[in-house]
Amino acid sequence: MLSIIGLITIVIIVALLISGKVSPIVGLVLVPVAGAFAAGFSFDEIGVFFTEGTTKVASVAIMFIFAILFFGIMQDVGLFDPLINKMIAISRGNVIAVAVATVIIAAIAHLDGSGASTFLITIPALLPLYKRLKMNPYLLLLLVGTAAAIMNMVPWAGPLGRTASVLDVDVTELWRPLIQIQIIGLVLLIIIAVTLGYREKRLIAKKASLGEGTMEEGIFEDTLAEAQVAATVAEENNLKRPKLLWINALLAIAVIGVLVWGIIPAGFAFMIGVSIALPLNFPKVQDQMARIKEHAPGGIMMATIILAAGSFLGILNGTNMLTSIATDLVTVLPAFVAPYLHIIIGVFGVPFDLLLSTDAYYFALLPIIDQVALSFGVPSLSTAYAMIIGNIIGTFVSPLSPALWLALGLAGLEMGKHIRYSFMIMWGLSIVLLIIAVLLGVIVI
User: Concatenated DSSP letters for 141-172?
Assistant: HHHHHHHHHHHTTSTTSHHHHHHHHHHT--HH
Cα angle 59, 65, 70; round to 5: 120
- Residue 236: pLDDT above 80? no
> What is the mean predicted confidence (pLDDT) over 13-20?
74
Residue 232 banded pLDDT, cuts 50, 70, 90? very low
pLDDT reported for residue 225? 41
> What is the mean predicted confidence (pLDDT) over 57-69?
79
- Cβ-based neighbours of 230, under 8 Å, separated by 6 or more: none
- Residue 305 has phi, psi (to 5 degrees) of -70, -40
DSSP code, position 403: H
> What is the mean predicted confidence (pLDDT) over 168-177?
82
239: part of which helix (H) or strand (E)? none
> What is the mean predicted confidence (pLDDT) over 164-174?
79
Q: Could you give the percent of the chain with pLDDT greater than 90?
A: 31
Q: What angle do helix axes 402-411 and 43-76 make, rounded to 10 degrees?
A: 40
pLDDT reported for residue 23? 78
Highest mean pLDDT (candidates 79-83, 96-100, 248-252, 421-425): 421-425
Tell me, yes or no, if the pTM score tops 0.75. no
- Residue 214: pLDDT above 70? no
pLDDT reported for residue 171? 76
Q: How far apart are the C-alpha atoms of 177 and 1, rounded to whole Å?
A: 40
Cα dihedral 5, 6, 8, 10 in deg (nearest 10): 160
- Cβ-based neighbours of 225, under 8 Å, separated by 6 or more: none
- Residue 331: pLDDT above 90? no
pLDDT tens for each residue of 399-413: 878 788 888 988 888
* Residue 226 burial (10 A CB sphere; 0-12, 13-18, 19+): exposed
Q: Render 309-365 in DSSP notation, one character per residue.
A: HHHHHHHHHHTTHHHHHHHHHHHTS-GGGGGGHHHHHHHTHHHHHTTS-HHIIIIII
- Residue 301: pLDDT above 80? no
Cα angle 316, 322, 327; round to 5: 155
Q: How far apart are the C-alpha atoms of 185 and 430, rounded to whole Å?
A: 9
Least confident of 2-6, 320-324, 341-345, 346-350: 320-324
pLDDT reported for residue 233? 46
Q: Is 42 left (phi over 0), alpha (psi -120 to 50) or beta?
A: beta
Distances, alpha carbon 193 to alpha carbons 146, 179, 404, 429, in Å: 11, 21, 20, 12
Q: How far apart are the C-alpha atoms of 351 and 277, rounded to whole Å?
A: 42
Residue 227 banded pLDDT, cuts 50, 70, 90? very low
Q: How far apart are the C-alpha atoms of 371 and 377, rounded to whole Å?
A: 10
- Cβ-based neighbours of 5, under 8 Å, separated by 6 or more: 35, 38, 39, 321
Q: How far apart are the C-alpha atoms of 93 and 88, rounded to whole Å?
A: 6
- Cβ-based neighbours of 127, under 8 Å, separated by 6 or more: 137, 140, 410, 411
Residue 304 half-sphere exposure, CB side, CA atoms within 13 Å?
11
- Residue 329: pLDDT above 50? yes
Identify residue 108 by its one-letter amino acid code. I
> Please, what is the average pLDDT of the chain?
82
- Residue 18: pLDDT above 60? yes
Q: Of the candidates 86, 82, 95, which has an alpha carbon nearest to the alpha carbon of residue 218?
A: 95
More confident call, 158 vs 438: 438
